[in-house]
Amino acid sequence: VLETKLKLVHLYGERTIPLQEFFIGPFQTALDPQEIVVEVQVPKPALYTAGSYQYLHKASSVGETLVGAAVLLTMDPKDSTCLEARIGLSSVAPTPIRAKVAETTLKGKRIDAKIIREAAQVASDEIQPRSRPWYRKEMTKVLLERAILQAMEKIR
Q: pLDDT for 120-146, tens place per residue?
A: 999 999 998 888 899 999 999 999 999
Which secondary-structure segment (H or E) carries 61?
none
pLDDT in tens, 13-35: 999 999 989 988 888 999 999 99
Sort 117 into a burial class: Cβ within 10 Å, 0-12 / 13-18 / 19+: middle
Q: Residue 81: which of 99, 108, 100 has the closest Cα?
A: 108
SS3 of residue 85 by DSSP:
strand
CA 68 to chain centre: 8
> Is the pLDDT assigned to residue 86 strictly greater than 90?
yes
Per-residue burial over 35-65, b = 16 or more CB atoms within 10 Å of its CB, e = otherwise:
beeeeeeeeeeeebbbbbbbebeeeeeeeee
Residues 6+ apart with CB under 8 A from 98: 1, 20, 86, 87, 88, 89
Q: For the chain, what is the radius of gyration of the CA atoms?
A: 17
Q: What angle do CA 117, 91, 87 make, to 5 degrees?
A: 45
The predicted model gives 78-107 an average pLDDT of 94
Amino acid identity of residue 27, one-letter, is F
Domains of the chain, CATH where assigned: 5-41 (no CATH), 49-155 (3.30.390.50)
Confidence class for position 57, pLDDT limits 50, 70, 90: confident
Confidence class for position 61, pLDDT limits 50, 70, 90: low
